[in-house]
Structure formats: C-alpha cells, structure tokens
Amino acid sequence: MFKEKVLSTCQKFNLIPPGSKLLVALSGGPDSVALLNVLLELRGELQLSSLAAVHVNHQLRGAESERDERFVKELCGQLGVPLFTERVTVNPKGKGVEAAARQERYRVFDRVLRLWKGDYVALGHTASDLAETVLLNLAKGTGIRGLRGFLPKRDRYVRPLFEVTRREVEEYLELKGLPYIVDSSNLSTDFERNLIRIEVVPRLRRLNPRFEESVLRLTSTLRGIEFFLNSQVEALLERFTAGGHFCAPLEELLKLPEVLQGELLIGAVKRLTGKGLSFRKVEKCLELIKKGSFARYSLGNGLTFVVDAGRACILPEQEGLKPFEFRVTDLPAEIETPSGVLRFSLNRGYPLIPLKKFKGQGIIVRNRKPGDRVDLGRHTRPLKKLLNEAKVPVLERDGLPVVEFGGRVLYVPFVSLPRRELPQPFVGVEFEERKSSDSPAGD
C-alpha cells in the first residue's frame, strides 16, 4: 500500500519524469530511509535513469553527527546506492541554528545536483510534516502561502512522500525491516516544530484521527485558490509594471477584493526585487490605498510605496533631486531640467519680460523653494496652492523649473497663469515635458 501510494503521488503531481537522474536527500532518519528504499522499489515504474543519495553532516551534535554519517554510508553500501557526503559549518548569525542549517543543506544539494548533472532532489517531507508546517505558520501569522504549506514540487525539488503520514512511514520500515537512526534533538520541545509535533498534533488527532488527511484536503484547495489569484495578479502586473516600477490607478485598485490588492503588491515587489513583502507592510499599504491622499512608505529592499495623483506606485528609492539653478543671458536658449526642456526665444511662447530688461539682468531657472509665490500681475499666490490646483503629483514638483526675474516668479509649467501682453520685442518661454520611454502602463 505504501509503495502504491507513493507511486500515485509521483504520477498525480508529475514529480519525476521518465529518464530522470534522481538525488535523494538522506539524513538517516525514518523518512529519508523509507524514501530511498521505496524509490529503489519504484525505479522501474518511474523509469529512473540513475539514483544516488546525498548526506550533509552539519557537525552540530558531536558524536551523533558522526554516527549519522557512518550509518548512511553503511546503508547505501548495502543497498548499492552511490552516496555523496559533505560536512558544513553552520553559522546561525542573525537567523537561528535551524534556518542556518537548512540554508547550508540546500546549498550542498544544489551543488551536488549540478556536479552530478542530476535532474531532481527528492526530499523526505511527509503529510505529517505538512500539517506541522501549516500549524506553525498559522500560530505565527500567515497568508494563503503559509496556510497551504510546502508544495509537492518546487523547481528541482520533489516530495514523493507528500501524501503519506509519519505513521505510514514507520509501518513501512517495520514491514521491510529497515534500520534508521533517531536525531535526539527531535525529542526536545525547545524547537518550535518539535513542540507542534509532540504536544499539539496528538491533541488534534484526538479530535480527528485523520488530521493529516484533512490538512491535505485543505492545502489542495488553497493551492487552487493560490493558482487563481496568481493568474489574476500576473495579468495585472503586465498592465501596471514597467521600467523597474509599478503604478496602478487607485480607482482600479479599490474595485479589486482586498486580498487581491494585497497579492498584487506582493507580486509587484517579487517581480521588482525577487523578495517578499511582510504582512505588516502589506496591511500598511492597503491602509494608504484606502485613504487615497499623498503618502510615502518605505518597503525596504530599495523600494518605496507612494500614493500620489490618484495612483499607487512601488518605486525604487532615490536620493532627492539635487538643487539646480541656471542663468539665461543669451537667446535663443535651451535649458534641460529634470521634468523637461525650457526654450527661451524672441517674440515666441509665453511672454516673460521686455528684451531690454533681459539684456541687463538675464533670467534665472531653478527648482522651487519653500515660500515661492507666483507673480500673477496685480497679486501673487503661493506656488504650492497653484500646484495643488493643477493636480501636479507631489513627487514631480521638485523637478519642475521655476522661471524667475528680479526676484519674481513669472512662469512654472502646468500652473494656470494670467494672459500677459507685452510689446515686441519680448523674451518668451516654451516648455516641452520629458516623456519617459519606460513610463508604466496605467499612468
């Protein structure tokens, strides 16, 4: 029954295509020993071209670690299975012993698989491990990915024991008379996973003796939901992501279910950096989307979340624009600014000043300053209010050029200015907005 169940799992999830070279992760514990033996039994049905094992000695348990390595060497010798062994030094700095050991272990798996020119690494995780993972994630706080737990197949890693329980593993080992070793650290509830396995799961089995099967059904449903959400997210990312940033209209975002909004933000960060986004940061971003007013929030990993001008954007963190100032003394003149090009010429564009005044002093082009007021003829108004009325995005304001003459601000692009009539010859200005070739869809 055990063999048939493992074969069914391999076929259902297409874990191991025919002709594969399969590397088995072998710790020497019950799960990995059962995995190695059942794969040997299924070698023909799975049409494996080669089968080997890999053991990582973390050197964390002294004599026990040495015993484990000796055991797997003897076992593989008896079974006629090629074995790769490697010793590693675990540095738990900043991540804990378990996480650091896992990182080293997978580093070895990847390297050996590459050198051996193998196709997949088979891991001994069972349905019982899945249940423990789900419970642990639930206890710490998680979303859909945490609740569905690990996958039967991820890249080049496969889990043929995905649908069998630890009890079924033990029964198989007893039936076959296979030896295995017990890691003494697995008996200590000082480790989170051990606490779940030793104290929590047995109580849940009292409520439901087939608890692991219930978890398998739940995670199967969640994988389907995740697949659907991912398809929706990918379609939205194609629309709203370009040139290293993500921008989406608030109006469209607010029409989406909140869970999809959150998944979209997570997907955007993943696409831009390859990294995840914490639940706390997702919640903060969703809160800012609901408010809709200007906001800026650091996401870490070099990204900033910004709500501005009716859009929600994830942008690379950048240093503030450096102050700029130019003096125009000759005509025609062309001045490059962060937001576009100003062209000054004779008797053309928006009239600024008579030519005779220009010859004496010239014109200054600079970025805005606190307290700037725009000369509207008979009165002045704060530049900030005029920019607000023009709905110029806050993030774009520091790059706008301000045209000043004699201490008076005469022209700012996009701002509503009074019609000014000047007799010729006069100095006029025209503005050409910079069009970014990588402006994101949805702008």
Confidence check: pLDDT of 97 > 90: no
Q: Which pLDDT band holds residue 420 (cuts at 50, 70, 90)? A: confident
For residues 66 and 386, what is the distance between their CA atoms, to the nearest angstrom?
75
Whether pLDDT at 352 is above 70: yes
Q: Where are the beta strands (DSSP E) in 19-161?
A: 21-25, 50-57, 83-87, 120-122, 153-154, 157-158
The two beta strands, 350-354 and 426-433, are antiparallel
- The tokens for 212 are 């692991």
From the annotation, which residues make up the binding site for ATP?
Answer: 27-32
Per-domain residue ranges of the chain: 1-221, 243-316, 325-433
Q: How high is the pLDDT of residue 17?
A: 97
The three-point CA angle 179-181-186 to 5° equals 145
Residue indicated by tokens 């509503």? 416
Architecture of domain 1-221 in this structure? 3-Layer(aba) Sandwich (3.40)
Residues 79-92: tens digit of each pLDDT: 999 999 999 998 88
More confident residue, 123 or 395: 123
Mean pLDDT of 192-211: 94
| 225-253 confidence digits (pLDDT tens) | 999 999 999 999 999 998 888 999 999 99
Residues 367, 323: contact at Cβ < 8 Å?
A: yes
Residue among 410, 425, 326, 406 nearest 360 (CA): 406
Q: Please list, residue by residue across 110-140, b when 16 or more beta carbons sit within 10 angstroms of its beta carbon and e when fewer do.
A: eebbeeeebbbbbbbbbbbbbbbbbbbbeee
pLDDT at 45: 97
Residue 161 has pLDDT above 60, yes or no: yes
Q: 395 falls in which pLDDT band (50, 70, 90)?
A: confident
Report which DSSP code applies to 397.
Answer: H
What residues are paired with 344 via a beta bridge?
333, 429
Percent of the chain predicted with pLDDT > 70: 97
CB distance 272 to 244 below 8 Å: yes
In the chain, the percentage of residues whose pLDDT exceeds 90 is 78
Distance CA 328, CA 342 (A): 11
| 51-77: average pLDDT | 95
- Tokens describing residue 3: 């063999």
What's the pLDDT at 438?
41
* pLDDT higher than threshold 50 for residue 439: no
Residues 311-336: pLDDT tens digits?
Answer: 999 988 865 567 899 999 999 999 99
Averaged pLDDT of the chain: 92
* Annotated binding-site residue numbers: 27-32
Spatial neighbors of 224 by CB under 8 A, at least 6 apart, are: none
pLDDT at 177 over 90: yes
Nearest CA-CA partner of 366 in 428, 317, 321, 418 = 321
Task: Decide: 86 and 57 in contact? Cβ < 8 Å.
Answer: yes
For β-strands 333-337 and 295-300, DSSP reports them as unpaired
Q: Using one digit for the tens of pLDDT, what is the confidence trace for 126-148? A: 999 999 999 999 998 888 889 99
**pLDDT > 50? residue 442:** no
Cβ atoms of residues 313 and 247 within 8 Å: yes
* pLDDT average, residue stretch 109-120: 97
Strand partners, 345: 428
The CATH number of the domain covering residues in 243-316: 3.30.465.60
Kindly indicate the confidence band of residue 437, based on its pLDDT and cuts at 50, 70 and 90.
Answer: very low
Q: Between 94 and 122, name the one with better pLDDT.
A: 122
What residues contact residue 62 under an 8 Å CB cut-off, 6+ apart?
none
pLDDT at 373 over 80: yes
pLDDT band at residue 95 under the 50/70/90 scheme: confident
* Mean of pLDDT values over 183-211: 90
